[in-house]
Structure 1
Amino acid sequence: MNRKLQTIIIDDEELARLRLIRLLKNYNDIINIIGEAVNGEDGLKKIEELKPDLIFLDIEMPVYNGFEMLSKLEDPPRVVFTTAYDQYAIKAFEEDSVDYLLKPVEAERLELTMKRLEKENKSDAVSLPIESLLKQLNIKKDTKTLTVKIGDRILLIKPENIAYIQAEDKYVFLCCLDGKKHLTDFTVSGLESKLPDTFIRINRSTLINTDHISEIRKGFNGTLIFVMKDKEAVKLSSSRRYGEVLREHFEI
């Protein structure tokens, strides 16, 4: 096979999309950009509608992050990740056919990606199976800060200052030790995948920082109640679904 790869760019950052489109104009002989998507949900719709051969995919996006989006696809296209993951995670993919670009994407690094894709395209190479891809990408990022936008300001929140994370309706809040709550664009699942192992899920909508638990109480029907060390000493209940896993984790 030697034809242009029909391509969609999926990224919630407009500047990142525009930069990548500009850089990819140098490779019109290899790819043809047929669409853009602004989040994981939009990406799913565009993929189902346009059936691309290739997607350039961000990971940290609202609605569905990149991992969640891929997990919903029965027949995923080839994937090139464009993300802010640290270098150690990128090295894990140096030997694989699916590439992994650090943002902001540099022209020199993108050239290596395009050479790889061109070689695969000519040889009709088979992409890395999605199950293997998702398994290998399940790497916790050593996140030093989370960004929160408040008007024209951007706050940097350190994970160690977060007591718990909670979803309320369609909104997700970082709940800090000082009692302040900060709205974030990340999903609970997205935060779970990028934060250290001290953050664990106790129900569908809540992550807690185990470094900031003051007390654990037994609730009804196998549930647990966590008293946190934040200013309000908030009590958070686990769901029955997570009860057994949590009891094993805390050796209760």
Structure 2
Amino acid sequence: MQFKTILIDDEPISISRMRRLLNDYNDTFDIIGEALNGQEGLEIIEELKPDLIFLDIEMPILSGFEMLAKLTYMPIVVFVTAFDQFAIKAFEENSVDYLLKPIEKSRLDRTVLKLQKLTANQSVKLSSESLQTISELIKPKKEIHSISVRNGDKILIIAFHEISHFQADEKYVFLNTVEGKQYITNHTIVNLTEKLPDSFIRISRSCIVNATRIKELEKHFNGKYLVVMQDQKRSKLETGISFHDNLKRLMEI
């Protein structure tokens, strides 16, 4: 099957390189157009109704996702992205193919093989649901530098470097500072896992620690560890078995 194909990227050099790469697959791709931004892409897709598009994500006027959300006709989408290896798992999990910039021919070979195996009844056209899922999964975390907590009638702003650890106790989650103070937060442990920077690691179902404040590890029973913190209380926090890998990866043990 030969796919009527459109290339959409805001960098002319990237489009030229893609054209050169696809020239080796003339029996698979018939390039019928190209666009340099999301708005141009939207117009040419609606006009020419291609089978397939190679789509960049970060583009002026309309991003790749914004363009897709406006389409009334949805072709097969192969994303061309500069997102890192972690982020692009979002594409894999939603059965949408991707090419990571700079594109390697060996990786393009796999994309071509996947496309050649498709039949009219087995297309991987992007649904609105999978588009939303991908968009949410690769959306950058909002960068935050502190956590707010209530203390009587006041709202305190606690900077990350002042925090030793978070610990859940029944229905509350407590923020513990390096100075030994403790405050109730409005967050759950799961919510904090999503909000906090990479320097905070979850060591058990009920505890997240600031890795920059770990003083030492003590071997505990059943293969567990006690994480000794550099706080005023010299807190000792027990690891959970299912979270060992988090700690070992960080501490290289």
TM-score by length of 1: 0.54
The aligned counterpart of 2:74 is 76
Equivalent position amino acid for 1:100 in 2: Y
Question: Structure 1 residue 75: deviation in Å?
Answer: 2.1
SS at match of 2:117: helix
Checking the alignment, whether the CA contact within 8 Å between 2:75 and 2:125 is kept in structure 1 is: no
Q: Is the 8 A contact 1:96 1:128 kept in 2?
A: no
Q: Say if 1:140 and 1:196, in contact at 8 Å, map to a contact too.
A: no
Q: Pick the structure with greater CA Rg.
A: 2
Q: State whether structure 2 residue 128 is matched by structure 1 residue 124.
A: no
Map of 2:33 onto structure 1: 35
Distance 1:139 1:130, change over 3 A: same
Pick one of 118, 135, 142 that aligns with 1:138. 135
In structure 1, distance between residues paired with 2:89 and 2:137: 14
Find the counterpart in structure 2 of residue 157 from structure 1: none
1:129 and 1:11, CA in 2 relative to 1: closer, same or farther beyond 3 A? closer
Unaligned runs of 5+ in 2: 147-185, 188-253
Alpha carbons 2:46, 2:72 under 8 Å: kept: no
Distance in 2 (alpha carbons) for counterparts of 1:124 and 1:106: 29
Specify every segment of 5 or more residues in structure 1 that has no aligned partner in the other structure, as ranges.
142-192, 199-209, 213-247
- Distance in structure 2 (CA, Å) of the matches to 1:139 and 1:58: 17
Give a deviation string over 1:207-242, Cα, whole Å, max 9, x none.
xxx649xxxxxxxxxxxxxxxxxxxxxxxxxxxxxx
Q: Is the contact between residue 40 and residue 64 of structure 1 (CA under 8 Å) also seen in structure 2?
A: yes
The structure 1 residue matched to 2:2, chosen from 4, 15, 25, is 4
What does residue 100 of structure 1 align with? 98
Deviation at 1:129, TM superposition (A): 4.0
Taking only aligned residues, the RMSD between alpha carbons, in angstroms, comes to: 2.5
Count of paired positions: 150
Structure 2 SS opposite 1:117: helix
**SS state at 2:111 partner:** helix
Partners of 1:89 and 1:139 within 8 A in 2: no
CA contact (8 A) 1:10 1:40 kept: yes
Higher relative contact order at CA 8 Å, sep ≥6: structure 1 or structure 2? 1
3-state DSSP of counterpart to 2:133 = helix
Instruction: Give the fraction of aligned pairs with identical amino acids, expressed as a percent.
Output: 51
Distance across 2 between alignment mates of 1:67 and 1:106: 24
Partner SS, residue 43 of structure 1: helix
- Listed one character per residue, the Cα deviations across residues 51-79 of structure 1 (whole Å, up to 9, x for unaligned) are 10100000000000000000001221010
- For 2:7 and 2:126, locate their aligned partners in 1 and report how far apart those are by CA, in whole Å: 20
Structure 1 residues 47 and 100: alpha-carbon distance in aligned structure 2, compared to 1, 3 A threshold: same
CA distance in 1 between counterparts of 2:88 and 2:39 reads 25
Which residue in 2 is equivalent to 1:64?
A: 62
